[in-house]
Amino acid sequence: MIHSLFLINAAGDIFLEKHWKSAVSRSVCDYFFEAQERASEAENVPPVIATPHHCLLSVYRHKIFFVAVIQSEVPPLFVIEFLHRVVDTFQDYFGVCSEVMIKDNVVVVYEVLEEMLDNGFPLATESNILKELIKPPTILRTVVNTITGSTNVGDQLPTGQLSVVPWRRTGVKYTNNEAYFDVIEEIDAIIDKSGSTITAEIQGVIDACVKLTGMPDLTLSFMNPRLLDDVSFHPCVRFKRWESERILSFIPPDGNFRLLSYHVSAQNLVAIPVYVKHNISFRDSSSLGRFEITVGPKQTMGKTIEGVMVTSQMPKGVLNMSLTPSQGTHIFDPVTKLLSWDVGKINPQKLPSLKGSMNLQAGTSKPDENPTINLQFKIQQLAISDDMKLNFHNVLLYCGGLASALSHHWMFGWRAIVLGSREISWPFCLDETERSEKCFSWLLWEVREEAETGQEFAWRHSTLMETL
């Protein structure tokens, strides 16, 4: 499987290496450096590079190349996915995955990598399990380790490693039970001059932060799950039920995790939430050109468009540009011919515009085609795929024999806040007819500790009903 891992910065320096089998010489990275020099940008370095005796697989994130060295046949996507998991783990441990942060916590980095791979094969990749094996670094723990000579390595084997749900640790308790789901979508679209959409597709993920007591069993569904293609699930999702009913049923990990990623193809109608009006013209008999561009909202459901950035690669004959923005700031690089306009937030009452003139090199012929305009933006609490509606069917918390005996008639639900999707619904049920939006996170544990007889449980039931 994976023999070695090299961490390389954007300058081409190896600042960390880890070997699981026999040590691999750093000279194997020379093939990677050659590919890095040929690439115009760091993101364009080939993810798979074959050498006479090894194969190099890499990912580029946070201005760092994570390069894995393998010597045997292995699915490339398997290794690449593991490298992404390594980056996510570092980010979860240290808050930021950067060269400085990795160097400052190099001991913890080596300990985490040692647990994630066993003789080159992935072993423990769930963050909550790793945090039981290797404690995350804190200022207090660092001081204590320095004084006592102890390490961040845990004393006991995580209980989740020996269960049928290794992604969740046992004995989880929270005073406030809550679950957060972020629906994050990225839309890639090509629009012609008249504003018609040539092609558009959506790449989306659902990130979750679940803090529920015990062993919760969640069930979610979508309004129109048939729109989703190439769905990739977290191991906690019951895949057979998704295939048969298109329903997400799972026992979630504790804390932050990615529930699934999906793709909405261009065959489905995708509504673009912004529009761009532009007028870029070059004169045949003059060294001057005209540049005008306006950005505005469209079908945003009243949501604010933020983080708007407009970039355009101008023709080589353009010497400089004299532009005046109504909002934001702009920069034109005369060397790379790249125009960048940082718009920021769009105010529908006063649409941002960028107008001015372009100076062309003398004797240069008129460009054959106008430059392409690239637009980036963010919209909070809006799903571009309109049918991405999440529904909570039930939230069951299993705690010993009590919950299993009552699971046919009782459900305990905690309110969940959803960012990025339009709507969410859930039940908080005391029986089949009573529903409430109030959240009593203490109910389950009081029932578990004190309801040894049916009378005591009925008393707790009636007491809670009186408070609603």
Residues 20 and 139 in one domain: yes
CATH assignment at residue 460: 2.60.40.1170
CB-based contact 103:88 (threshold 8 Å):
no
Segments forming the whole domain that contains residue 182: 178-269+385-467
> Token pair for residue 376?
């980036």
> Token pair for residue 229?
């293609």
| Residue 169 belongs to some domain of the structure | no
| Residue 253 belongs to some domain of the structure | yes
Residues 191 and 284 in one domain: no
Residues 256 and 300 in one domain: no
> Token pair for residue 12?
């081409």
User: According to the model, what pLDDT value does residue 155 have?
Assistant: 60
Residues 151 and 73 in one domain: yes
| Residue 168 belongs to some domain of the structure | no
Q: Give Dmax over CA atoms of the chain in angstroms.
A: 96
Report the C-alpha gap between 417 and 259 in whole angstroms: 15
CATH assignment at residue 20: 3.30.450.60
Q: Which amino acid is at 41?
A: E
Number of residues written out for the chain: 468
Domain boundary among 379, 411, 440: 379
pLDDT tens, residue by residue, 352-374 = 999 999 988 877 777 777 888 99
Query: In sequence order, what DSSP letters do the residues of 71-98 get, joined into one string?
Result: -S---HHHHHHHHHHHHHHHHHHHSS--
CA 98 to centroid of chain Cα atoms: 17
pLDDT tens, residue by residue, 52-106 = 999 999 999 999 999 999 999 999 999 999 999 999 999 989 989 999 999 999 9
Q: What is the pTM of this model?
A: 0.70
Place of tokens 């569904």: 221
Residues 195 and 312 in one domain: no
Q: Is 3 left (phi over 0), alpha (psi -120 to 50) or beta?
A: alpha
- Position 206 confidence tier, pLDDT thresholds 50, 70, 90: very high
User: According to the model, what pLDDT value does residue 267 have?
Assistant: 62
Residues 186 and 112 in one domain: no
Cβ neighbours of residue 138 closer than 8 Å, sequence gap 6 or more: none
Specify which residues 67 forms β-bridges with.
6, 58
Using alpha carbons, list the distances in angstroms from residue 301 to 17, 90, 298: 49, 37, 9
| Residue 173 belongs to some domain of the structure | no
Residues 402 and 455 in one domain: yes
Q: 216, 224, 378: which is closest to 307 by C-alpha?
A: 378
- In terms of Cβ atoms closer than 10 Å to its own Cβ (0-12, 13-18, 19+), residue 292 is middle
Mutual angle of helices 454-467 and 443-450, in 10-degree steps: 160
Average pLDDT, the chain: 78
Domain boundary among 156, 186, 205: 156
| Residue 171 belongs to some domain of the structure | no
Residues 225 and 295 in one domain: no
Domain boundary among 379, 404, 436: 379
**Is the pLDDT at 409 greater than 60, yes or no?**
no
Q: 249, 226, 220, 245: which is closest to 237 by C-alpha?
A: 249
Report the C-alpha gap between 157 and 173 in whole angstroms: 19
Share of the chain above pLDDT 90, in %: 41
> Three-class SS of residue 6?
strand
Residues 256 and 223 in one domain: yes
| Residue 43 belongs to some domain of the structure | yes
User: According to the model, what pLDDT value does residue 434 have?
Assistant: 34
Residues 54 and 26 in one domain: yes
Residues 237 and 289 in one domain: no
Q: Which amino acid is at 231?
A: V
Q: Is 241 left (phi over 0), alpha (psi -120 to 50) or beta?
A: alpha
Handedness of CA 295, 301, 305, 311 (dihedral sign): negative
User: According to the model, what pLDDT value does residue 440 have?
Assistant: 31
User: According to the model, what pLDDT value does residue 436 have?
Assistant: 34
Pairing mode of beta strands 255-264, 229-233: antiparallel
Residues 283 and 359 in one domain: yes
**Is the pLDDT at 417 greater than 60, yes or no?**
no
Query: In sequence order, what DSSP letters do the residues of 300-347 get, joined into one string?
Result: -TTPPEEEEEEEEE--TTEEEEEEEESSSEEEEETTTTEEEEEEES-B
Cβ neighbours of residue 381 closer than 8 Å, sequence gap 6 or more: 303, 419, 420, 421, 422
Report the C-alpha gap between 49 and 438 in whole angstroms: 56
- Position 158 confidence tier, pLDDT thresholds 50, 70, 90: low
Split into its structural domains, the chain has a count of: 3
Mutual angle of helices 76-94 and 106-116, in 10-degree steps: 140
CB-based contact 266:191 (threshold 8 Å):
no
| Residue 124 belongs to some domain of the structure | yes
